[in-house]
Amino acid sequence: MLKMRRKGLLFLFFASCVILSSKAQVSHGGKPLPYTPTRSQSFNFYQEMPSFDVEEELRTDAMNESDLKSGYRFAYKFMTNYSPANTGETFIQQDGTKIWRMGIYSKGALSINVLFTEYELPEGAQLFLYNPEQTQILGSFTHLNNSDKQILPVSPIHGERLIVEYQEPANAAFPGRLTIGEVNHGYRSLRGYEPGGNRSEFACMLPPVCFDDEYNKVSRSVVLITIDGVTACSGVMLNNTQNDGKPYLLTASHCLNKNFSVSNPDYESIAGSIVCFFNYTSPTCNPVMRGTEEMSVASTIYRAVNEKIDMALLELQEAPPVYYQPYYAGWSIEEDGGTLPYAGIHHPRASVKRINISEDNVSLKSFTIKEISFYNNAHWKVDVWSSGSTASGSSGSPLFDSNNRVIGALSGGSSSCSVPMDDFYYALFKAWEPEDSPDKQLKHWLAPSNSKKLTIKGLDPYSTQPGYRLSNIYDLKRQDSITISELSSPATGYLFGSNSLKTTEYAEAYQVNEKAKIYGAYFVTPAVTDPVGSLNVEVVVYSGTDKPETLLYTGTFKPTYTEMSVIDSTFQETEKWLNRNQESFIRFDKPVEVSGTFYIGYRINSPENSTFAVYNLPKGQTSRNTSWINNKGEWIKASSHPSMPFNTSLFIDPVIRYTHLVTNEKPPVEDDVKVFINRNHKTVYVLLPEDIQKADMAIYSTNGQRMFQTTLSGNASTIPVSNLGSGIYIININGKNLYYSQKILF
């Protein structure tokens, strides 16, 4: 594992860039009706989009991109007015449920995404979008997705046909209001921008996992954002002085106004069309893989834009749920720019998250472009990156000081891997209160109590009931050693996947010493080559003391939107969402309660020619075994396999939340706590802030087991912890308006 103490930045040639296919907003379960086209289907079921000159669009894009100012477009926009009143077909089921369906056809489209310019559903109603084969389904979207703007942006469905299905119960409080006002035809892919492509422009940009735990927390605050269904940028979630968990999002104004080419932009409408993608990051340092695409939140609220400095502040319509493990970064408006090293975290070309590092001091400079005159000396200039660079799509990404506090956001520059120099970030202190109007400044929103603080720390909005990603792979720091173990001749196939031995069920063991709920799990898998629609894999959860015994949960292994045809044309051609080595998050239909030892795994029901498997540690990488195989109806440890016995772990990471904790009315925030470890005497020394005399302290193993708990009294405490063995632990300290967490090593 590469260990680095630096921080990098993002590069944006003043660009907004590309879009991911992922869940556009938090969906709420359920399934659409089976779909089979019939001869009785109404003549206007499919609305066909008119043709347009794709070559002319590509020529226009190339001209705009050459000056490093234009956003990277991938779609052509049609303005429409489709609703149940004028389009599609409507029928009523026996229970009185009203069904409306319509199709959209755009010849040659690599993807189609839509914007509902009118969206208001009654309780009990459900909206789905899918392709005709129902191999990609978005939704359900319900009354929980209603917003003040009454709009709903939706991520792409891949291919040239899309079907909309609306289900409304007979006793609905009011008829749902739905209008599709925009249809976007995806006319190009971004082949090669994703991990695995041979692109030298990304070679210098390392993902956060390469930096051990140094940027683990703040990297969770950086998100990929897509705007209006056709362009993309980067952004960062910010804390405020109230520590109230409001989901503020900072980005660059030129991401919203098409690089200042739109006169009098309707920022409220544009904000409503934004989709934010969380945790889109590679699970390994080398090789870089595609990350999770399933965690997103749609639609934001316009709070402030100041084009004279390129600042844009938004607020998410819907707070990200606990299993997203969101983090709201702290910030600094000190005028000295803080201390080095500096770091930038961003999504170049809408790729997985990357980090840049600069070991040189930043300086306040004027950033000059032809489209607009910025305030003088309002941008931090990064003269040179020690590692990494930025690219189109990095715009709006944060610049962190050595305390991991945001001091600016990327406007533009000219850096690249070959010439990693000259990037410009607008300074937060310059955007703090440049004008009196609240919609032109940051202070009104980030310091609502008129606080005089110049710096604040970050916030985990779920810090009293956090989500934990348990991982037997990360615990050992062996993620870059993972492999796909194959059986020895004469057997064929994968040890932990489809094979000639006809073993089809596998599981990974975890243990918690308190009751917890599993919200879902990350699976790191190699490419799957099953024929379209034939993959049939179940996610399973078992309890059991010595082996998997009682089945607690089964669900479909079907990453909701991991196909990314707008990023990689292979997906569009094969209609596969698992045809690359990648990480996917499978959200459970409902949280699964566990205690003690539990097992999470998968059952392969596909044909024999399936190639589904999960990555595992190779022989010799671990001395303990946590993996299990169902061998002819009997669960056995992988270390007892009849033909290939060895200790290993599977790359399956559940996200859990302990149930005994109680959420405070206001989430606490990190404060100035100091923790010192005496390894020889097995003691922990804790120094609390002067105004805090009491706090609770707990020590957890890295798989979430609570190993020690006590109450701290007074500012200074020395706590013996002789029961802890050698290893890595997490220490949590909670008190009134206080939350502190760090890893410790004995």
DSSP 264-329: S--HHHHHHT-EEE-----S-SSS--B-----EEE-EEEEEEETTTTEEEEEESSPPPGGG---BB
**CA 532 to chain CA mean position, Å:** 26
pLDDT greater than 80 at residue 665: no
pLDDT band at 63 (very low <50, low <70, confident <90, very high): low
pLDDT (average), residues 102-115:
91
pLDDT (average), residues 468-480:
95
Query: What pLDDT, on a 0 to 100 scale, did the predictor assign at position 577?
Result: 57
- 3-class DSSP state for residue 646? coil
Query: What pLDDT, on a 0 to 100 scale, did the predictor assign at position 594?
Result: 97
Residue whose entry in the numeric block shows the structure tokens 């002319």 = 56
pLDDT band at 530 (very low <50, low <70, confident <90, very high): low
Tokens at 677, concatenated: 């470890």
Residue whose entry in the numeric block shows the structure tokens 């009315």 = 665
pLDDT greater than 80 at residue 422: yes
pLDDT greater than 60 at residue 745: yes
Contacts of residue 98, Cβ cutoff 8 Å, sequence gap at least 6: 90, 91, 92, 167, 168, 170
pLDDT (average), residues 674-700:
81
Q: Give the Cα separation of 736 and 92 in Å (integer).
A: 55
Tokens at 570, concatenated: 């292979």
Q: Give the Cα separation of 61 and 53 in Å (integer).
A: 13
pLDDT (average), residues 348-361:
92
Closest CA to 682 of 727, 743, 713: 727
pLDDT digits (tens, 9 = 90+) for 560-572: 543 223 322 222 2
Q: Give the Cα separation of 44 and 378 in Å (integer).
A: 55
Query: What pLDDT, on a 0 to 100 scale, did the predictor assign at position 64?
Result: 54
Mean confidence (pLDDT) of the chain: 84
pLDDT (average), residues 164-181:
96
Residue 281: left (phi > 0), alpha (psi -120 to 50), or beta? Answer: beta
pLDDT band at 513 (very low <50, low <70, confident <90, very high): confident
User: 181 vs 156, which has greater pLDDT?
Assistant: 181
Of the given ranges (191-195, 336-340, 421-425, 601-605), which has the lowest mean pLDDT? Answer: 191-195
Query: What pLDDT, on a 0 to 100 scale, did the predictor assign at position 446?
Result: 97
Tokens at 455, concatenated: 């710096």
Stated as kind and residue range, the H or E segment containing 745 is strand 738-745
pLDDT (average), residues 626-641:
96
Domains of the chain with CATH codes:
46-186 (2.60.120), 200-456 (2.40.10.10), 468-658 (2.60.120), 674-745 (2.60.40.3080)
pLDDT greater than 80 at residue 610: no
pLDDT greater than 50 at residue 7: no
Of the given ranges (216-225, 230-239, 547-556, 637-646), which has the lowest mean pLDDT? Answer: 230-239
Of the given ranges (33-37, 382-386, 626-630), which has the lowest mean pLDDT? Answer: 33-37
Share of the chain above pLDDT 90, in %: 55
Tokens at 599, concatenated: 């097992």
Query: What pLDDT, on a 0 to 100 scale, did the predictor assign at position 194?
Result: 52
Query: What pLDDT, on a 0 to 100 scale, did the predictor assign at position 568?
Result: 28
Q: Give the Cα separation of 315 and 308 in Å (integer).
A: 21
Identity at 593, one-letter amino acid code: E
pLDDT greater than 90 at residue 477: yes
pLDDT band at 641 (very low <50, low <70, confident <90, very high): very high
Query: What pLDDT, on a 0 to 100 scale, did the predictor assign at position 30?
Result: 78
Closest CA to 99 of 158, 172, 151, 150: 172
Asked if 318 and 173 count as a contact pair (C-beta separation under 8 A), the reply is: no
